[in-house]
Structure 1
Amino acid sequence: MNLVTLLPFIVLIGAMFLMTRSAKKKQQAAAQMRNEMTPGTGVRTIGGMYATVKEIGEDTVTLEVAPGVHAVYAKNSIGAVLDDAEYNRIVHGATDDLTIDTPVVPDDASSLTAGETPKTDLSKDEDEAPKLDLGKKDEPGDGPADEPKDGKTDGEAGAK
């Protein structure tokens, strides 16, 4: 056989070997990371939820997703085991060692307009506001609005 025809097959087999080898390494690293979990460790699931490990079983792990709320997950659903400092920074917002160079956006817009005078006076009394005439009469029986449209009254079969 010609070496030129066998060369693509050899390259393909070598690439498959390298891909399976790197996949096995990743699986072993993930398994080792999951074995490092202990109760009280902060973790991130593959879905992106942060929780604290409460109990570790053979194939499952019990996570505290909120204070007093426990959920059972498969061990292979743990995406990362976090150290205490990183977990507290992400979950509790502890920023002791974190420096922020960007300006902080306020929670409300009131601080963005501080010092400016309002362009309209919103402090008018309700008595000063103009009233709309919607065509309704103040007292019953003042006009044609109280008469039936078809000329009938309650209990009559015909018109007036």
Structure 2
Amino acid sequence: MDILTLLPFIVLIGAMFLMTRSAKKKQAAAAQMRNDMQPGTGVRTIGGMYATVKEVHDDTVLLEVAPGVHAIYAKNAVGAVLDDAEYNRIVHGDDDELDADGTVVPDDASSLTGEPGADKADVAKIDLGKDEAADDDAESKDDAAAKDAKGEGKADGETGTK
């Protein structure tokens, strides 16, 4: 057999080997992350729920999903273990994000206008090219259509069909 005939098979086997190797590394890293969970850390489940770890067992973890509300989850259901700053920013709404140099990133309109302390109301309204009267007319038509669908707005005995 010629080596050129076997070359596509060799490349295919090599690619499969590299893909399975990287998948195993990701699985091992996820397992290590789940094993390193400690009570008090914030986590995100694979379903997107944020919770605080209360107890860690062999295959399960007790999560506090709301104050006083506890639920038992499989360790495999934990998608990410979050650091304290990220967890507080997402769950508690702490907006104090830091730049790489450690300065606080403002989360208001002052970052857009360059003026410190500017409110979002101070920023000029952006014109999207729509006529406000046309918007009001479209809303009233939508309201009338919704009432017709519910049978509201008709006198007794009237129907919307002909």
How far does residue 20 in structure 1 lie from its aligned partner after superposition? Answer: 0.5
Give the match's secondary structure for 1:52: strand
Distance 1:82 1:104 in 2: 31
How far does residue 99 in structure 1 lie from its aligned partner after superposition? Answer: 1.9
- 1:87 paired to 2:87: yes
Q: Percent identity?
A: 76
Q: TM-score, normalised by structure 1?
A: 0.62
Q: TM-score, normalised by structure 2?
A: 0.61
**Structure 1 moving runs of 4+ over 4 Å:** 102-106
Query: Which structure carries more relative contact order (alpha carbon 8 Å, separation 6+)?
Result: 1
Aligned residues: 108
How far does residue 61 in structure 1 lie from its aligned partner after superposition? Answer: 0.6
How far does residue 81 in structure 1 lie from its aligned partner after superposition? Answer: 0.5
Structure 2 counterpart of 1:13: 13
- Uncovered stretches (5+) of structure 1, i.e. residues with no partner: 107-111, 113-160
How far does residue 96 in structure 1 lie from its aligned partner after superposition? Answer: 2.7
- Uncovered stretches (5+) of structure 2, i.e. residues with no partner: 98-104, 113-117, 126-162
| Structure ID, larger Rg | 1
How far does residue 74 in structure 1 lie from its aligned partner after superposition? Answer: 0.8
Residue type at the aligned position of 1:99: P
Distance 1:86 1:63, change over 3 A: same
More helix by proportion, 1 or 2? 2
CA RMSD of aligned residues (A): 2.2
Give the match's secondary structure for 1:88: helix
